[in-house]
């Protein structure tokens, strides 16, 4: 499984080479970026294909005394998201980004490497290191435009993300002190002897740290600011990958290290579902008030992540499948919405909802893509968002969270109201003469590709579900994961 | 009324901090009382087998550059990212530091000092696997040279001697070198960043050329950290 480690070091190498090309050979910049992204896509497909049965790759061949990378279906899903989003975003950004081009690509590649590392590693401290790599470069991308709003968002992000990292690091140190090891499987075995009280405290640190990075409701206030004035292609990766990678780390730590029995006993599953319900209700209501398109999408992201949390915290097989499918779907739908917004911004620097009035007659295909993606994110059939939301509702009903299932339906109507507001504005005739700069094919093709995936995954959900169906085996029964990591 | 509000807000903040502190105190107390000293097999392994397995006498180096070298790659990337953020975020304008307020003694001493700093930094890097030191520490000492130039003779002179572009490129070269040395492990049929396992000759522990690839990794990290810190310092000292 050499490809697993290449998935991490190829983006790193590309970022370093971009740094050199900025000074000496400016001409190879675009070929370097594009070819690296294509090779990366190939590597990702290779690794995803080998994700079942899980593979272990030992860095430095040290086995249990060193760092191990493990590819299981759960990390395979995240690699699939990178594979679907990364190349379109890179192609889009080559034309879209005009100032600080080199820096943008350096940080994007480093961020991707950090996310790939977080997803693949099976070592608790390594997880923290890659978390820092991805969140620091993500902060840099927020500040890239150097406008006042962007800098404010980056500063808030930096403070909150450092606070979250502090709690995660504290929990990691205490875990190492208690167990004497950093390998996730060994920690999980050692944790059987740790008293309930200490385990709960450690869990509280982990949950608080990661939830700060995810942005559930009382801890969400920094998040919309980071979306407002940052480069919009970055927002695609941010909502699709950076926030999700924190969800991934949280779920991995909770399900593998603490185990589903402890989560049930300590009541975290109930708390998680309740927290999710509160979050999406409040986030939908806040999204309704926004006039800035990026902020609206940011609040919508918070709400969608809350759906994902409900699915993952229901604690059954169906819930995990629904939640994971929604992770994939949300990345695609939100990616499409942000890319269309980016084209509107590129063509006539539209940031507010009023600015896009009547644009549907200028960009018929792109506006149709926007409608498809927003109906999908609301959760209407036959799009992909409907299926994953349906799976989450079904799982919530099955395990007795009737209130969660009811409020998801309420939330659907709430989200329909504000997305309809945008769509209606988009299709309202505007008498004003609009001068637009034509977006080329390199901007519209990635957008249409992602938008078409909304329909494809809605009509043929078995394509991604073949991978997702295998995820619960290794999360619900952490014994299976431990056996592979220790023995394989 | 307003004053009461302010005071109650302050009390609220203090109360939060104190309650968190009490909570942490109890947790740490419980953790400390737990008998966990028996679970030290990992550190015991590093201490007892480290020299045979990695060839480095300095155990810290053997952990940093061999057992957990992948973490070091991540940390080096964090440093590179920080340097890149500062160099593009801080506006490039002329500095407002005063000319040279120092007497001739300072500037003359600086000139005498710099070769010694270079030697010390080199020593720390090259002997990282034998004595206390290593790439990170040595790199910091190397970075002191441009920093000293900046403080004594202003930013312009320091950047005339060490061009910012050259520093950025050498930082990238250090990082690329680290990855390439790691790839040697894959080329010899073992895994990424493998050292002894990839049949690299470890040599006799205690010699200058021993410990396989660790000294070369040290050099790369030294270049990277030195260049990165110099960039960070010069970017921070430039003011609008």
For A230-245, how does the pLDDT look when each residue is reduced to its tens digit (9 = 90+)?
Answer: 999 999 999 989 999 9
Q: Encode pLDDT of A180-237 as tens digits.
A: 889 999 899 888 888 888 899 999 999 999 999 998 888 888 999 999 889 999 999 9
Q: By the CB < 8 Å criterion, does B240 face chain A?
A: no
Mean pLDDT of A38-43: 94
Q: Do the Cβ atoms of B174 and B164 come closer than 8 Å?
A: no
Instruction: Read off the pLDDT band of A179 (50, 70, 90).
Output: confident
Please state, in angstroms and rounded to a whole number, the distance separating the CA atoms of residues B101 and B114: 20
Are the C-beta atoms of residues A224 and A296 closer than 8 Å to each other?
no
**Which one, of A239, A267, A419, lies nearest residue A335 by Cα?**
A239
Tell me which residue in A103, A107, A133 faces B74 most closely, judged by beta carbons. A133
Q: Is the pTM of this model over 0.90?
A: yes
The pLDDT-based confidence of A83 (bands split at 50, 70, 90) is very high
> What's residue B58's pLDDT?
86
Nearest to A140 among B31, B81, B169 (CB): B81
Q: Buried b / exposed e across A45-58, counting CB within 10 Å, b at 16+?
A: ebbbeebbebbbbb
Q: How high is the pLDDT of residue B27?
A: 85
Q: What is the pLDDT of residue B37?
A: 60
Does residue A31 register a pLDDT over 80? yes
Average pLDDT, chain B: 85
pLDDT, greater one: B227 or B154: B227
Nearest CA in chain A to B24: A201
Does B136 reach chain A within 8 Å, measured CB to CB? no
Q: What share of chain B has pLDDT > 70, as a percent? A: 93
What average pLDDT does this structure show over A452-465? 90
Kindly list the residues from chain A whose CB atom is less than 8 angstroms away from the CB atom of residue B73.
12
Identify from B85, B165, B184, B211 which residue to disrupt to test chain A contact, counting A C-beta atoms within 10 A and taking the largest count: B85
> For residues A304 and A334, is the Cβ–Cβ distance under 8 A?
yes
User: What is the rounded average pLDDT of the residues A140-154?
Assistant: 90
Please report, rounded to a whole number, the percentage of residues in chain A having pLDDT higher than 70: 100
Looking at per-residue pLDDT, the higher value among B133 and A11 belongs to: A11
What integer is the mean pLDDT of B78-107? 76
Q: What are the pLDDT digits (tens) for B23-44?
A: 889 888 888 887 656 677 888 8
Longest pairwise C-alpha distance within chain B: 77
Beta bridge partners of A183: A123
Contact A279, A309 (CB under 8 A): yes
Query: A70: which strand partners?
Result: A56
**Which of the two residues, B34 and A410, has the higher pLDDT score?**
A410
Q: Which residues of B28-51 are buried (b: 16+ CB within 10 A; e: fewer)?
A: eeebeeeebeebeebeeebeeebb
Res. B93 pLDDT band, cuts 50 70 90: low
Measured between CB atoms, does A63 come within 8 Å of chain B?
no
How far B101 CA sits from the closest chain A CA (Å)? 34
- Could you tell me the residue ranges of all domains in chain A? 2-487
Query: Which chain B residues contact residue A132 at CB under 8 A?
Result: 74, 78
Which has the minimum average pLDDT: A81-90, A167-176, B47-56, B217-226? B47-56
Of A16, A100, A178, the CB nearest to B36: A178
A232, A350 contact by CB (below 8 A): no
Output A408 or B107, whichever has higher pLDDT.
A408
DSSP 3-state of B122 = helix
CB of A310 within 8 A of CB of A403? no
**Which residues 169-198 of chain B have a CB within 8 Å of chain A?**
169, 171-173, 175-176, 179, 182-183, 185-186, 190-195, 197-198
Among chain B residues, CA nearest to A201: B27
Q: Is A152 on the interface with B (CB under 8 A)?
A: no
Closest CB from B34, B81, B168 relative to A23: B168
Residues of chain B with C-beta less than 8 angstroms from the C-beta of A174: 31
Residue A276: pLDDT band with limits 50, 70, 90: very high
User: Structural domain boundaries of chain B?
Assistant: 35-237
Among candidates A13, A114, A140 on the partner chain, residue whose Cβ is nearest the Cβ of B179: A13
**Residues within 8 A of B (CB atoms), A 94-133 only:** 100, 103, 106-107, 110, 113-114, 117, 125-126, 129-130, 132-133
Chain B positions touching A61 (Cβ under 8 A) are 185, 190-191, 194, 197-198
Positive or negative, the CA dihedral A390, A393, A396, A398 is negative
How near does any CA of chain B get to the CA of A415, in Å? Answer: 36
Which residues, 6+ apart, have CB-to-CB distance to B18 below 8 Å? none
Spatial distance between the Cα atoms of A106 and A108, rounded to a whole number of angstroms: 6
Option in A62, A136, A143 nearest B89 (CB): A143
Sign of the CA dihedral B36, B39, B42, B45?
positive
Please state, in angstroms and as integers, the Cα–Cα distance from residue A118 to each residue in A97, A123, A132, A324, B134, following that order. 27, 9, 10, 17, 27
pLDDT, tens digit, for every residue of A280-331? 999 999 998 889 999 999 999 999 999 999 999 998 899 999 999 999 999 9
Report percent pLDDT > 90 for chain B.
32
CA distance B125 to B214: 11
Q: Does the beta carbon of A58 lie under 8 angstroms from any beta carbon of chain B?
A: yes
pLDDT at residue B118, as a whole number: 93
Is residue B99 very low, low, confident or very high in pLDDT (cuts 50, 70, 90)? low
pLDDT at B43 (0 to 100):
85
A121 phi, psi to nearest 5 deg = -75, 150
pLDDT at residue number B197: 76
Answer yes or no: is pLDDT of A111 > 90.
yes
Q: What local confidence, expressed as pLDDT, does residue B36 receive?
A: 59
What is the reported pLDDT for B239?
61
Cα–Cα distance measured from residue A38 to residue A448, given in angstroms and rounded to the nearest whole number: 19
Which residues in chain B touch residue A143, judged by CB atoms under 8 angstroms apart?
85, 89
**A247 band by pLDDT with thresholds 50, 70 and 90:** very high
Q: Is the pLDDT of residue B97 over 60?
A: no
d(CA B54, CA B217): 13
The confidence score (pLDDT) of residue B22 equals 93
Asked if A178 lies within 8 A of B192 by C-beta distance, the reply is no
Question: Average pLDDT for residues A467-487, to the nearest whole number?
Answer: 87
Please give, rounded to a whole number of angstroms, the shortest distance from the CA of A88 to a CA of chain B.
Answer: 24
């Amino acid at each position: 499984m050499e490809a697993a480690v290449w998935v991490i070091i190829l983006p790193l190498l590309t970022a370093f080479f971009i740094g050199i090309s900025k000074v000496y050979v400016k001409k190879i910049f675009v070929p370097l970026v594009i070819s690296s992204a294509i090779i990366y896509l190939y590597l990702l497909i290779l690794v995803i294909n080998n994700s079942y049965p899980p593979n272990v790759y030992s860095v430095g061949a040290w086995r249990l005394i060193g760092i191990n990378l493990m590819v299981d279906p759960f990390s395979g899903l995240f690699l699939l998201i990178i594979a679907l989003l990364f190349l379109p975003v890179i192609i889009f950004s080559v034309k879209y980004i005009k100032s600080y081009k080199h820096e943008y690509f350096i940080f994007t590649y480093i961020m991707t490497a950090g996310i790939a590392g977080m997803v693949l590693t099976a070592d608790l401290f390594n997880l923290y290191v890659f978390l820092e790599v991805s969140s620091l470069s993500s902060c840099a991308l927020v500040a890239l435009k150097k406008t006042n709003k962007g800098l404010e968002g980056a500063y808030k992000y930096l403070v909150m993300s450092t606070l979250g990292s502090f709690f995660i690091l504290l929990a990691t140190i205490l875990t190492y002190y208690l167990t004497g090891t950093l390998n996730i499987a060994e920690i999980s075995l050692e944790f059987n002897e740790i008293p309930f009280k200490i385990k709960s405290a450690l869990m509280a640190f982990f949950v608080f740290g990661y939830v700060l990075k995810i942005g559930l409701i009382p801890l969400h206030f920094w998040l919309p600011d980071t979306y407002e004035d940052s480069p919009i292609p970055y927002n695609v990766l941010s909502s699709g990958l950076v926030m999700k990678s924190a969800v991934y780390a949280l779920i991995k730590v909770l399900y593998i290290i603490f185990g589903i029995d402890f989560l049930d006993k300590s009541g975290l599953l109930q708390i998680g579902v309740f927290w999710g319900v509160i979050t999406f209700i409040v986030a939908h209501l806040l999204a309704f008030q926004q006039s800035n398109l990026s902020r609206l999408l940011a609040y919508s992201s918070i709400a969608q992540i809350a759906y994902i949390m409900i699915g993952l915290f229901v604690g059954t097989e169906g819930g995990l499948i629904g939640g994971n499918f929604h992770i994939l779907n949300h990345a695609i739908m939100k990616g499409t919405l942000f890319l269309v917004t980016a084209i509107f911004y590129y063509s006539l620097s539209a940031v507010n909802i009023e600015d896009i009035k009547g644009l549907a007659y200028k960009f018929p295909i792109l506006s149709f893509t926007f409608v498809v993606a927003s109906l999908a994110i609301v959760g209407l059939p036959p799009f992909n968002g409907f299926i994953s939301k349906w799976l989450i509702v079904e799982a919530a009903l099955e395990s007795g969270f009737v209130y969660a299932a009811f409020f998801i339906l309420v939330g659907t109507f709430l989200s329909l109201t504000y997305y309809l507001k945008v769509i209606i504005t988009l299709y309202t005739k505007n008498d004003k003469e609009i001068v637009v700069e034509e977006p080329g094919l390199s901007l519209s093709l990635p957008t249409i590709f992602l938008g078409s995936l909304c329909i494809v995954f809605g009509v043929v959900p078995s394509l991604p579900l073949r991978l997702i169906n295998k995820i619960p085996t290794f999360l619900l029964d952490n014994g299976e994961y431990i056996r592979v990591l220790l023995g394989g | 009324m307003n004053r009461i509000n302010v005071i109650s807000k302050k009390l609220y903040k203090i109360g939060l901090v104190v309650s968190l502190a009490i909570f942490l105190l109890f947790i740490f107390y419980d953790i400390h009382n737990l008998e966990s000293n028996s679970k030290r097999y990992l550190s015991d392994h590093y201490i007892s087998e480290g020299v045979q397995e990695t060839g480095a006498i300095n155990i810290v180096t053997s952990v940093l550059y061999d057992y957990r070298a992948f973490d070091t790659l991540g940390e080096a990337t964090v440093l590179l990212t920080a340097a890149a953020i500062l160099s593009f975020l801080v506006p490039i304008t002329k500095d407002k530091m005063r000319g040279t307020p120092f007497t001739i003694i300072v500037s003359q001493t600086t000139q005498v000092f710099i070769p010694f700093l270079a030697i010390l930094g080199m020593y720390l890097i090259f002997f990282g696997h034998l004595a206390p030191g290593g790439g990170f520490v040595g790199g910091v000492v190397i970075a002191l040279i441009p920093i000293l130039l900046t403080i004594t003779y202003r930013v312009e002179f320091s950047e005339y001697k060490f061009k910012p572009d050259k520093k950025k490129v050498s930082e990238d070269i250090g990082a690329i070198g680290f990855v390439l040395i790691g790839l040697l492990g894959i080329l010899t049929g073992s895994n990424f960043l493998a050292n002894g396992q990839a049949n690299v000759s470890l040599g006799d522990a205690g010699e200058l050329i021993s410990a396989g690839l660790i000294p070369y990794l040290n050099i790369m990290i030294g270049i990277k950290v030195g260049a990165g810190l110099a960039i960070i310092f010069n970017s921070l000292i430039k003011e609008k």
